[in-house]
Amino acid sequence: MRTQIAVIGGGPAGLLLSQLLNRAGIGTVVLERQTRDYVLSRIRAGVLEYGMVEMLRQSGAGDRMDREGFPHDGVCVSVDNQPFRVDFVERCGKRVFVYGQTEVTRDLYAAQDAIGATIIDQAANVALHDLTTDHPWVTFEKDGAEHRLDCDFVAGCDGFHGASRPSIPDDVRTDYERVYPFGWLGIMSETPPAAEEVTYASHSRGFALASMRNPMLARSYIQVPLTDRVEDWSDDVFWDEFRRRLPHEVAEALVTGPSIEKSIAPLRSFVSEPMRWGRLFLCGDAAHIVPPTGAKGLNLAASDVHYLFEAFKRHYLDKDDGGLDGYSQKALKRIWQAMRFSWWMTMMLHSFPDSSGFDQAMQKSELDYLAGSDAAQKVFAENYTGLPF
What single string gives the DSSP state of each residue in 223-290?
EE-TT--GGG--HHHHHHHHHHHS-HHHHHH-----EEEEEEEEEEEEEEE-SEETTEEE-GGGTEE-
Burial class (CB in 10 A: 0-12, 13-18, 19+), 313: middle
What single string gives the DSSP state of each residue in 106-120?
HHHHHHHHHTT-EEE
pLDDT of 44 over the 80 cut: no
pLDDT of 296 over the 90 cut: yes
pLDDT score, position 245: 98
pLDDT of 77 over the 80 cut: yes
Give catalytic residue positions.
72, 200, 292, 296, 384
Mean pLDDT value of segment 60-64:
97
Of 94, 25, 13, nearest to 56 by C-alpha is: 13
> Do 309 and 20 contact (CB within 8 A), yes or no?
yes
Question: Looking at the DSSP assignment, which residues form a beta bridge with residue 5?
Answer: 28, 153
Report residue 118's pLDDT band, with 50, 70 and 90 as the boundaries. Answer: very high
pLDDT score, position 42: 78
Mean pLDDT value of segment 48-63:
96
Span 203-243, pLDDT tens digits: 999 999 999 988 889 999 999 999 999 999 999 999 999 99
Report residue 95's pLDDT band, with 50, 70 and 90 as the boundaries. Answer: very high
Span 300-313, pLDDT tens digits: 999 999 999 999 99
Domains by residue range for the chain, with CATH: 5-70+97-177+268-346 (3.50.50.60), 180-267+352-385 (3.30.9.10)
pLDDT score, position 375: 98
pLDDT of 178 over the 90 cut: yes
CA 184, 297, 11, 70 torsion: positive or negative? positive
pLDDT score, position 230: 96
pLDDT score, position 150: 98
> Do 377 and 91 contact (CB within 8 A), yes or no?
yes
Mean pLDDT value of segment 249-268:
95
Report residue 367's pLDDT band, with 50, 70 and 90 as the boundaries. Answer: very high
CB atoms within 10 A of CB 329: 13
Report residue 41's pLDDT band, with 50, 70 and 90 as the boundaries. Answer: confident
pLDDT score, position 214: 85
pLDDT score, position 45: 72
Q: Record the pTM.
A: 0.95
